[in-house]
Amino acid sequence: LMFFVVKALITVSETLKPSPALTSVGSAVGSIEDQQWYHGMLPREDINRLLKEDGEFLVRVTEPTPSSGMRTVISTRWNGRHYHFIVGHCKGMYYVEKETFPDVVALVEYYHRQKKPLTEATGAKLLSPVKRQKWELRHEWIKLDRQLGEGAFGGVFAGTLTTGFTTRKVAVKVNKGKAVEKEVIEEMCKEAAIMRIFRHPNVVKFYGIAVEREPVMLVMELVEGGSLDIVLRTKKEELTVQDLTNFALGAAKGLEYLHSKNCIHRDVAARNCLVSGKEDVNQRLPIRWIAPEVLETMLYSTKSDVYSFGILLWEIFSEGNVPYGKMTLAEVKTQIRSRQFVFNGKFHVTISDYYAEGVRC
């Protein structure tokens, strides 16, 4: 998905490295992934949003690097500032400043129960754990079945999500490969942050994201009908003008809703619409669909989305033909910049009004 990214919360943050350890303290029960205060690879931007009051804390891990792998971080807010303490590891023991512990759970529970500052310099205390949010899913809740598609980020799979006594069919976006890059995690988490505020029948429903370990998984509603561009090409003999009109109306409703939430889609096209079993179109949230001003300025707006919607109308009523036909991308760019929009193709029966509306967009 490509959305317009809203402004991030601006906070004062510090990352503090551990001091040498001194005193050893006993172990605690349970793995780190079982703790409600553990948030996996959730990016710092999301972490800072979750820490709202002084004394609130959580534990996360950094994305792996070739030199150091993953590193455990205790994030907390104290005196209005966000601190991120890197947990040191030496000879099988973990520490932040003075005491050492056999595991991270024991370290966190000790400072939480004793109400002792993590470091003398900051005075920061672990008073109130921030629990995992409803949209932070456990990997064991997700089961992958068949693969639906693949892109630069990785694959999309049909699967199931089981939470409590409820199991539902879902679509799962899984990052590619074993190594998780910082940019991939941040992009998927940004996508999740935006999707979770949307509630509309023509926008794909978001269930959550699993970031406690690799691979990162983004879980969404499974729309059984497939992508609109495939439906238009493979079922063109079966589709009526009413069907095509419903597709256009569903996409328009979804786009109107996104714009009402001050969200710009930036990639409105038939390939990014899904057809449900009821023949509704769900917005799933480049050059052939892009507005002239975007090519010139690389700035998106609701108006550029409406332009792309006009191209989508043409796709729908031309039985899924590719905009600008067999032109090369260079030729397409020339056409767009010169405002010469020539679309050749067979249109579905009497759709002159719809074609005119598409050109007007």
Contact 223, 274 (CB under 8 A): yes
Name the residue among 319, 313, 314 with its Cα closest to residue 250.
313
d(CA 267, CA 199): 20
Contacts for 312 with CB less than 8 Å, ≥ 6 apart: 248, 251, 268, 269, 270, 273, 289
SS3 assignment, position 104? helix
CA dihedral 166, 169, 171, 175 (to 10 degrees): 50
Residue 112 DSSP code: H
Find out whether 7 is annotated in a ligand binding site. Answer: no
Residue 104 burial (CB count, 10 A): 20
Find tokens 């994030």 and name the residue. Answer: 75
d(CA 281, CA 315): 14
d(CA 289, CA 216): 30
Find tokens 């930036």 and name the residue. Answer: 266
Q: What are the backbone angles phi and psi of residue 244, rounded to the nearest 5°?
A: -65, -40
Length of the chain: 361
Residue 188 DSSP code: H
Cite the active site residues.
267
Residue list, annotated binding site for ATP: 173
Q: Give binding residues as ranges.
A: 173
